[in-house]
């Protein structure tokens, strides 16, 4: 990429919104004040994730006044990951900035991230080094989770929970986000060959509303970590995992069977009362199940690569200054 084209990169800011009525006008003004003077083309995509307060009305008012504002309205609450995926799907500019709608992320960090993008990185993720949250139920679980995730995946990172990220659009739109996968975006992008870097960003205490996160999310994050670890190592060929487990079970069955026969021939021990015979039968059955799972996984993988157009959320409408639209999203390339 030439220096001139890099300096003209356009920006799409994606902000999931769920009951943030007090924060919306302030955040919009902060983003406009930061991005307006930059001279870059930009759009602000707010995804209303089933808000029950006046958030949608405030967003619609912004869309009426500001041509840079795009509002995506969900039919119901689908969660932050789905909202982020919808925003990414709608985004049309070169670089996608993701951030929270609670004013805890700071738009003044965007220029630093854009500098890293222009330097050749594909993804820049924030590190809330001086995080302004409660220690026991927010910071401590996050530190433990980040350490476990970093060790498990082999991806060096301090703060996977920071929503503030800058991603090249072609990288972001290759990702499949579901569950709590939005926090694993850097790891998933790295798996796709993206060049990633972490930068220290500002973090503010929440001013309005209540946090939607708590220690109860830890279980879901751990389960998604298992999923991500599977995707990183075995997504392209599940048989490598399940086939290996099936072979190990077959080996255990073979050893148990030989031991059972040997004990019968040498020691005269009754085979029907020998627990090793039960272990042989059980190991054969479990081994066959693992091999069957491997075959089913391979079939599902092939189906995934031939048809990846399904989405796990439903959009009611998209609000722009030109008028409401029905959401049409092209199929992903395999």
CATH number (domain holding residue 147): 3.90.550.10
Same domain, 26 and 58: yes
Is 109 inside a domain boundary? yes
Is 324 inside a domain boundary? no
Same domain, 104 and 192: yes
Same domain, 102 and 34: yes
Q: Mind listing the pLDDT tens digit for each residue in 30-63?
A: 999 999 999 899 999 999 999 999 999 999 999 9
Same domain, 227 and 244: no
Same domain, 112 and 227: yes
Structure tokens at 114: 């854009």
Same domain, 197 and 142: yes
Confidence of residue 198 (pLDDT cuts 50, 70, 90): very high
Is 316 inside a domain boundary? no
Same domain, 219 and 281: no
- Residue after which a domain boundary falls, among 212, 235, 258: 235
pLDDT of residue 332: 44
Count of domains in the chain?
2
pLDDT of residue 47: 96
Residues 229/154, Cβ–Cβ less than 8 Å: no
Domain that holds residue 130: 3-235
Q: Mind listing the pLDDT tens digit for each residue in 219-238?
A: 666 777 777 777 777 777 78
Same domain, 63 and 46: yes
How far apart are the C-alpha atoms of 111 and 99, rounded to whole Å?
14
DSSP 3-state assignment of 237? coil
Same domain, 58 and 203: yes
Is 319 inside a domain boundary? no
Is 203 inside a domain boundary? yes
Backbone angles phi, psi at 151, to 5 degrees: -70, -40
Same domain, 167 and 289: no
Report the percentage of the chain scoring pLDDT > 90.
Answer: 47
- Residue after which a domain boundary falls, among 235, 263, 290: 235
Is 134 inside a domain boundary? yes
pLDDT of residue 52: 93
How far apart are the C-alpha atoms of 172 and 104, rounded to whole Å?
23
pLDDT of residue 187: 87
- Residue after which a domain boundary falls, among 235, 270, 295: 235
Confidence of residue 178 (pLDDT cuts 50, 70, 90): confident
Confidence of residue 326 (pLDDT cuts 50, 70, 90): very low
Same domain, 112 and 201: yes
Same domain, 55 and 169: yes
Is 148 inside a domain boundary? yes
Question: From its phi and psi, is residue 51 left (phi > 0), alpha (psi between -120 and 50) or beta?
Answer: beta
Is 323 inside a domain boundary? no
């Amino acid at each position: 990429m030439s220096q001139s084209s890099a300096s003209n990169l356009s920006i799409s800011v994606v902000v999931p919104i769920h009951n943030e009525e007090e924060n919306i006008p302030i955040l919009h003004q902060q983003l406009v004040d930061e991005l307006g003077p930059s001279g870059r083309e930009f759009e602000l995509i707010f995804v209303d994730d089933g808000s029950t307060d006046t958030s949608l009305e405030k967003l619609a008012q912004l869309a009426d006044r500001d041509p840079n504002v795009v509002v995506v309205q969900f039919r119901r609450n689908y969660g932050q990951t789905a909202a982020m995926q919808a925003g990414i799907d709608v985004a049309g500019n070169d670089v996608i900035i993701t951030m929270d709608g609670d004013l805890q992320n700071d738009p003044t960090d965007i220029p630093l991230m854009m500098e890293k993008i222009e330097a050749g990185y594909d993804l820049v993720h924030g590190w809330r080094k001086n995080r302004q949250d409660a220690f026991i139920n927010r910071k401590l679980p996050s530190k433990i989770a980040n350490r476990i995730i970093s060790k498990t995946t082999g991806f060096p990172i301090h703060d996977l929970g920071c929503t503030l990220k800058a991603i090249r659009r072609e990288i972001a739109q290759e990702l499949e986000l579901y569950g709590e996968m939005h926090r694993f975006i850097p790891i998933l992008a790295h798996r796709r060959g993206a060049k990633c870097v972490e930068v220290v960003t500002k973090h503010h205490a929440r001013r309005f509303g209540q946090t939607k996160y708590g220690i109860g999310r830890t279980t879901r994050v751990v389960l998604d970590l298992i999923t991500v670890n599977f995707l990183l190592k075995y997504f392209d060929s599940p048989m490598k995992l399940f086939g290996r487990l099936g072979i190990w079970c077959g080996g255990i069955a073979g050893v148990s069977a030989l031991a059972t026969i040997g004990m019968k021939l040498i020691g005269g021990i009754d085979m029907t009362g020998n627990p090793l015979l039960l272990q042989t039968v059980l190991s054969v059955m479990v081994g066959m199940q693992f091999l069957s799972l491997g075959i089913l996984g391979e079939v599902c993988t092939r189906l995934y690569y031939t048809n990846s157009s399904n989405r796990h959320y439903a959009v009611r409408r998209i609000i722009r200054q030109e008028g409401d639209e029905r959401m049409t999203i092209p199929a992903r390339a395999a």
